[in-house]
């Protein structure tokens, strides 16, 4: 069993437990949506700044900081959206982090997790997300369609994440308007930033494209902007920075 399969197996057990403890009919009281896609389509390359305490590839990143301080630094530094890890065992996140980020920042929020069940989409809405991550490698064709359609029905953006051309074709087939190209191989955890550029030529016009994993410098972001990318998602490099606001400002070139 590779790392992705291990995480997915655990995710399915966990969501089954939550469905028993908190039935779907009690998952309500959704907050108004913030315009996640609009934040990524402003002129220039938009930064989605990620709160991530640890990961399977890096181990502990920063567990000594208050989430509210991190997302506040991201917003002051010029990030235009947030990504909040809510997966617990491998990434140290929780649904409570989603709600805390919503209270601490005015930026639209992506719930970063392994979404495998419609319950989690409803749950994301209730806890304050404006977008959900749908990983093509983690889902069957039918699951992807169901989850993508449900997100749209609920007014949530869906970032459909791909790693190769076959997955990209699946994203196109489902009608994804927001596509994330993840440079990290989820089975080996290796990163190859050439992957984004290799897949760009296979994209259809009109999709909003987000580059993920392996970025840490302004020079890399300039290259992405020059290639026509709309946004980049960065977590680890910012979380490790001694001054998170200054590091964010350096990447966004905010005044």
Q: How high is the pLDDT of residue 52? A: 94
17-72 tens-digit pLDDT:
998 888 766 555 667 889 999 999 999 999 999 999 988 888 888 888 999 999 99
> Which range of residues forms the domain containing residue 139?
3-252
Question: Which residues are identified as catalytic?
Answer: 50, 52, 112, 161, 182, 212-213
The percent of residues in the chain predicted with pLDDT above 90, rounded, is 77
Q: What is the 3-state secondary structure of the chain?
A: CCHHHHHHHHHHHHHHHHHHHCCHHHCCCCCCCCCHHHHHCCCCCEEEEEECCEECCCEECCCCCCHHHHHHHHHHCCCCEEEEECCCCCCCCCHHHHHHHHHHCCCCEEEECCCCCHHHHHHHHHCCCCEEEEEHHHCCHHHHHHHHHHHHHHCCEEEEEECCHHHHHHHHHCCCCEEEEECECCCCCCECCHHHHHHHCCCCCCCEEEEECCCCCHHHHHHHHHCCCCEEEECHHHHCCCCHHHHHHHHHCCC
* pLDDT tens readout for residues 75-116: 999 999 999 999 998 899 999 999 999 999 999 999 999 999
Output the domain CATH number for residue 131. 3.20.20.70
Domain total for the chain?
1
């Amino acid at each position: 069993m590779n790392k992705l399969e291990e995480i997915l197996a655990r995710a399915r057990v966990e969501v089954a437990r939550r469905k028993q403890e908190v039935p779907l009919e009690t998952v309500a009281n959704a907050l108004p949506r913030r315009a996640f896609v609009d934040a990524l389509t402003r002129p220039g390359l938009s930064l989605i700044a990620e709160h991530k305490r640890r990961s399977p590839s890096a181990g502990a990143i920063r567990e000594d900081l208050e989430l509210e301080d991190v997302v506040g630094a991201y917003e002051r530094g010029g990030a235009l959206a947030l990504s909040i890890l809510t997966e617990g065992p491998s990434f140290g996140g929780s649904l409570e982090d989603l709600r805390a980020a919503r209270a601490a920042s005015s930026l639209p929020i992506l719930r970063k997790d392994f979404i495998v069940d419609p319950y989690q989409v409803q749950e994301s809405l209730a806890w304050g997300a404006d977008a959900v991550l749908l990983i093509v490698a983690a889902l069957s064709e039918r699951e992807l369609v169901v989850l993508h359609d449900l997100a749209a029905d609920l007014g949530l953006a869906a970032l459909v994440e791909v790693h190769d051309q076959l997955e990209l074709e699946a994203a196109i087939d489902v009608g994804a308007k927001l596509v994330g190209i993840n440079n990290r191989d989820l089975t080996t955890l290796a990163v190859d930033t050439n992957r984004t550029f290799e897949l760009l030529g296979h994209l259809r016009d009109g999709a909003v494209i987000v580059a993920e994993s392996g970025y840490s410098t302004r020079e890399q972001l300039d290259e992405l902007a020059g290639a026509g990318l709309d946004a980049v998602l960065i977590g680890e490099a910012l979380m490790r920075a001694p001054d998170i606001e200054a590091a964010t400002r350096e990447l966004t070139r905010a005044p």
